[in-house]
């Protein structure tokens, strides 16, 4: 009897509990808990930008859910999410490489507060046919040539490939470093070796060189520039760097920027080229043995170069169209707050070396920040003649096909490089044309 009563009581409590839970979940008070989900890559600059947003979120009673993802799967994962139409993310990291790939699925951002105070050229990748933009800049990503100040005086910094080889070999011979130059070369890291030398030698992936107007490239049939003499020159430069001059490790063909950065930060190399956003890591005594001994300089030029090349792109934030209107509005409010938070942007620059998105922040930094002046000299005052990617949906496929051709050539014999380039023409062309 007693057991029966207890069971009845327990069932009553359970029913009341469930009802209370249902009421609390459906009540207006619960609906007022605002939440925004941010999908991003674990990277100092992105974390710094998320910190600015989090500051706003705390002040405005918004819960910010952070969803970090690995770079190696980011584009694939987000593409799948966007095309499936679900609202897994309210805000996503957006990169110029994918500007046109995702344009259909992202909201337009022209109405975000502070968008009138950002640089327009780096946003080229994100415009639709109506001239509306699909990203809010988070930071500028600029390939920056870094050198060790304890090994090389500013006047000794290489300005040409030939000097890069000779200075590297001298330092190696003197036993000061194991390697002259390290940089990522494996797929998705091509900028940090092959590509900076490609553009630095007035070369490109497709003909006509340095053209980014898809209509003109289409008219030219997306013809790869692999068999051009300028290509042969930069591929041979890397082949020699790996096997003849040995200024770079042979395994560099498999390095991502993580491995290259690790070697540079261990003090085993004199030069590297990577996004300026890694400057913070290089100068962090907790992570780097060369903290305080790193400076920036213009990229060394190839034999055809007249002025050091540089690229100036952005990483940004996008909002999927599938996100409900009220959350889109809230997300835009948050991104506007990030874009107009000068204090936050300055802190981001100080912590990471990532040039802030707002020109107002640039004005502040230009006045009294020596490192920013160095970066301006190394990048923004140089020849920003083209973009460091092509802006069409097949770009990831082109990148992969190009990377396979180049790594294949660098693993072969030097005299076979022209043959490898000629053999790769079809693969790169097909990749640009959707595999056809």
Partner 1 sequence: MGTPGPDKAPGKPGKSFALRWLALNEKTRFSLLLLAPSGIMLILFQIVPILIGANASFRDWSLYDPQRTWVGLQHYIYILTDPNFLYLVLPNTLLLMVSSVSIGLVLGLALAHMLNKHFFGHAIVQTVILLPLMVAPVIASMMMRWIFNDQFGVVAAVIGALGFGQIAWLSDRWPSFAIIVFTDVWLWTPWFTILLLAGLRSLPKEPYEAAAIDAASKWRVFTHVTLPMMRPIMAVCIVIRSIDCFRTFDQVWVISGGGPARQTEVFSIYAYTEAFVYLNFGRGTAAAIIGAIIIGTLGWGLYKLLNRFMEVSR
| Binding region for partner 1 (CB under 8 A) | 72, 76, 79-80, 83, 101-102, 104, 178, 186-187, 249-254, 259, 262-263, 266, 268, 393-394, 396-397, 400, 404-405, 407-408, 411, 431, 434-435
Tell me the closest approach of the beta carbon of residue 315 to partner 1, in angstroms.
20
Tell me the closest approach of the beta carbon of residue 408 to partner 1, in angstroms.
3
Asked if residue 432 lies in contact with residue 222, where contact means CB atoms within 8 angstroms, the answer is yes
CA nearest to 189, candidates 360, 405, 403, 425: 403
Classify the C-alpha dihedral 140-312-225-164 as positive or negative.
negative
The DSSP bridge partners found for residue 216 are: none
Tell me the closest approach of the beta carbon of residue 263 to partner 1, in angstroms.
6
User: Is the CB of 65 or the CB of 266 nearer to partner 1?
Assistant: 266
246: left (phi over 0), alpha (psi -120 to 50) or beta: left
Q: Could you give the CA distance from residue 322 to residue 119 in angstroms, rounded to a whole number? A: 28
User: Is the CB of 72 or the CB of 86 nearer to partner 1?
Assistant: 72
CA nearest to 359, candidates 26, 33, 121: 121
Three-class secondary structure assignment of 106-148:
ECCCCCCCCHHHECCHHHHHHECCCCCECCEEEEEECEEEEEE
Tell me the closest approach of the beta carbon of residue 433 to partner 1, in angstroms.
11
Tell me the closest approach of the beta carbon of residue 165 to partner 1, in angstroms.
20
Cα 143 to the chain's mean position, in Å? 9
Tell me the closest approach of the beta carbon of residue 136 to partner 1, in angstroms.
21
User: Is the CB of 19 or the CB of 80 nearer to partner 1?
Assistant: 80
User: Is the CB of 101 or the CB of 123 nearer to partner 1?
Assistant: 101
Take residue 162 and report the two structure tokens written for it.
């030939």
User: Is the CB of 35 or the CB of 76 nearer to partner 1?
Assistant: 76
Pairing mode of beta strands 91-95, 313-318: antiparallel
- Given the structure tokens 């490089």, which residue do they identify? 417
Tell me the closest approach of the beta carbon of residue 106 to partner 1, in angstroms.
12
User: Is the CB of 222 or the CB of 362 nearer to partner 1?
Assistant: 222
Tell me the closest approach of the beta carbon of residue 248 to partner 1, in angstroms.
11
CA nearest to 105, candidates 114, 94, 119: 94
Take residue 313 and report the two structure tokens written for it.
């792109």
User: Per-residue b/e over 353-381, b at no fewer than 16 CB within 10 Å?
Assistant: bbbbbbebbbebbeeebebbebbbebbbe
Say which residues have a Cβ less than 8 Å from residue 145's Cβ, sequence separation at least 6. 196, 271, 272, 273, 296, 297, 298, 299, 300, 378
User: Is the CB of 56 or the CB of 105 nearer to partner 1?
Assistant: 105
Tell me the closest approach of the beta carbon of residue 144 to partner 1, in angstroms.
22
User: Is the CB of 5 or the CB of 70 nearer to partner 1?
Assistant: 70
Pairing mode of beta strands 34-41, 91-95: parallel
User: Is the CB of 94 or the CB of 327 nearer to partner 1?
Assistant: 94
User: Is the CB of 268 or the CB of 369 nearer to partner 1?
Assistant: 268
Tell me the closest approach of the beta carbon of residue 187 to partner 1, in angstroms.
6
The DSSP bridge partners found for residue 147 are: 271, 295
CA nearest to 142, candidates 370, 346, 332, 383: 383
- Given the structure tokens 């007249």, which residue do they identify? 306
Tell me the closest approach of the beta carbon of residue 353 to partner 1, in angstroms.
24
User: Is the CB of 337 or the CB of 428 nearer to partner 1?
Assistant: 428
CA nearest to 71, candidates 94, 31, 42: 42
């Amino acid at each position: 009897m007693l057991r029966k009563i207890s069971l009845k009581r327990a069932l009553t409590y359970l029913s009341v509990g469930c009802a209370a839970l249902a009421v609390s979940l459906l009540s207006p008070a619960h609906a007022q808990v605002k939440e925004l989900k941010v999908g991003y890559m674990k990277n100092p600059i992105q974390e710094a930008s998320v910190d600015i947003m989090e500051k706003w979120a705390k002040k405005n009673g918004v819960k910010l859910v952070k969803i970090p993802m690995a770079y190696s799967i980011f584009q694939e994962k987000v593409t799948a999410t966007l095309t499936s139409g679900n609202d897994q993310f309210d805000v996503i990291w957006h990169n110029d490489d994918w500007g046109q790939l995702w344009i259909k699925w992202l909201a337009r951002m022209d109405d975000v507060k502070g968008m009138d105070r950002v640089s327009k050229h780096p946003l080229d990748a994100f415009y639709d046919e109506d001239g509306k933009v699909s990203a809010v800049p988070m930071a500028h990503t600029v390939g920056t040539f870094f050198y060790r100040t304890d090994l090389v005086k500013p006047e000794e910094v290489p300005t040409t490939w030939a000097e890069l080889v000779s200075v590297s070999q001298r330092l190696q011979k003197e036993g000061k470093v194991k390697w002259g130059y390290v940089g990522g070369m494996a797929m998705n890291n091509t900028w940090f070796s092959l590509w900076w030398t490609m553009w630095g030698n007035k070369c490109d992936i497709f003909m006509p060189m340095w053209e980014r107007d898809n209509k003109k490239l289409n008219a030219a049939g997306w013809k790869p520039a692999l068999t051009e003499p300028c290509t042969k020159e930069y591929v041979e430069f890397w082949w020699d760097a790996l096997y003849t001059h040995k200024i770079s490790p042979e395994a560099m063909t498999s390095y991502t920027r993580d491995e290259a950065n690790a070697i540079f930060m261990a003090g085993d190399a004199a030069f590297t080229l990577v996004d300026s956003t890694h400057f913070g890591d290089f100068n962090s005594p907790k992570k780097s043995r060369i903290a305080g001994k790193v400076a920036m300089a213009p990229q060394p030029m190839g034999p055809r170069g007249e002025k050091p090349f540089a690229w100036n792109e952005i990483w940004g934030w996008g909002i999927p169209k599938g996100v409900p209107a009220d959350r889109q509005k809230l997300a835009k409010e948050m991104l506007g707050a990030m874009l107009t938070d000068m204090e936050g942007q300055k802190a981001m620059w100080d912590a990471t070396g990532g040039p802030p998105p707002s020109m107002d922040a640039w004005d502040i930094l230009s006045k009294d920040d020596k490192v920013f002046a160095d970066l301006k000299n190394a990048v923004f005052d140089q020849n920003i003649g083209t973009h460091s990617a092509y802006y069409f949906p097949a770009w990831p496929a082109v990148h992969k096909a190009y990377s396979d051709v180049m790594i294949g050539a660098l693993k072969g014999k030097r005299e076979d490089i022209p043959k490898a380039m000629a053999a790769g023409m079809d693969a790169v062309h097909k990749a640009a044309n959707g595999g056809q």
